[in-house]
Amino acid sequence: MYRFLIIISFFITVVFGDNFINILEKDCNASKTQSCITLGELYEYQRPKKPQKSLEFYKRACELKDIVGCRKLANIYINGTVKNDYKKALKLFKKACDKNDTISCNNLAWLYENSFGSKKKDYKKAIRLYKKVCRSNQTIGCLNLARIYQQGKGIKKDYKKAIKLYKMACKNKNMQACRDLAIMNIKGIGLKKSYKRGFQLFKKACKNGDKISCIYLAWMYQNGYGVSKNRKIAKKIFEKACLNGNKDACKWLEKSFKKRSKR
């Protein structure tokens, strides 16, 4: 729904141009934070992009105590839109997380996990926050917590807990979790190796838009892992992924399906 509203805003901007911008700026100056955020998004994503203008309007929304504005301002400081400032991002995510913005809590956990904005990695804080996000039915938190358990970051590896969390997130439509669970199945990490289960999980994730899973799926068709070998289907999947800009798919296509020239 939120993404739909952004698209509508972009459409209105194209049609009505400066008039719409002027209305939003007037509303933003009147402390209507949603207008400030919409302006920030327009300047962040619309071409030509104006990063400083985007930052200005997100900052205005945050100063007006709009938590979404604070989160978007923090994102600006870590995504390369302007010069990265992880310390500012950490403070902003913490501010939003303290107001129970679960997306900000997840992002804050990621900063702690990777020591961005702090002197050293703090897995204890990261785990606590990922658990909070996961309990709030945000599958990204469950996914990140599962990866912590699988890799043993700051704690002892626990494949059983990782698998349980991956399954939970995958069931709730997190396709990255389905992919990670598929990899554990085909490699036999923490459970009995099963190409068949891995294939089904990659197929589900690919069908629902996970591009990396599509590469794995094509590879399984190509080699007959968990499914009858079918190079025709494999090639079709690689070609589609390559056309959509996946460079790895293009390499696989070139390596495995390039016709040999006749001598």
Residue ranges per structural domain of the chain? 1-84, 100-170, 174-257
Task: Give yes or no for a contact between 218 and 252, defined as CB atoms under 8 angstroms apart.
Answer: yes
Lookup: tokens for 178 = 């389905």
Q: Looking at residues 251-262, what average pLDDT do you find?
A: 72
pTM as predicted:
0.86
Q: Which CATH class is domain 174-257?
A: mainly alpha
Helix (H) / strand (E) element for 124: namely helix 123-135
106 residue type, one letter: N
HSE value, Cβ hemisphere, 13 Å, CA-based, for 145 = 27
174-257 and 100-170 share a CATH fold? yes
**Residues 6+ positions from 95 with CB-CB distance below 8 Å:** 67, 70, 104
pLDDT band at 5 (very low <50, low <70, confident <90, very high): very low
Q: Give the range among 46-55, 69-78, 130-139 with minimum mean pLDDT.
A: 46-55
pLDDT at 214: 95
For residue 123, what are the CA distances in angstroms to 66, 113, 126, 156, 175? 29, 5, 5, 12, 24
For residue 169, what are the CA distances in angstroms to 58, 67, 128, 140, 157? 31, 26, 18, 8, 19
HSE value, Cβ hemisphere, 13 Å, CA-based, for 22 = 4
Q: Which CATH class is domain 1-84?
A: mainly alpha
Instruction: For the chain, give the mean pLDDT.
Output: 91
**Residues 6+ positions from 83 with CB-CB distance below 8 Å:** none
Q: Is the pLDDT reported for residue 262 higher than 50?
A: no
Could you tell me which residue, 181 or 50, shows the higher pLDDT?
Answer: 181
pLDDT (tens digit, 9 = 90+) per residue, 109-152? Answer: 999 999 999 889 999 999 999 999 999 999 999 999 999 999 99
Q: At what angle do helices 86-97 and 67-78 cross, to 10 degrees?
A: 160
pLDDT (tens digit, 9 = 90+) per residue, 188-234? Answer: 999 999 999 999 999 999 999 999 999 999 999 999 999 999 999 99
Pick the CATH number of 100-170 from 1.25.40.10, 3.30.200.20, 1.10.3720.10, 2.40.50.140: 1.25.40.10
Q: Is the pLDDT reported for residue 180 higher than 60?
A: yes
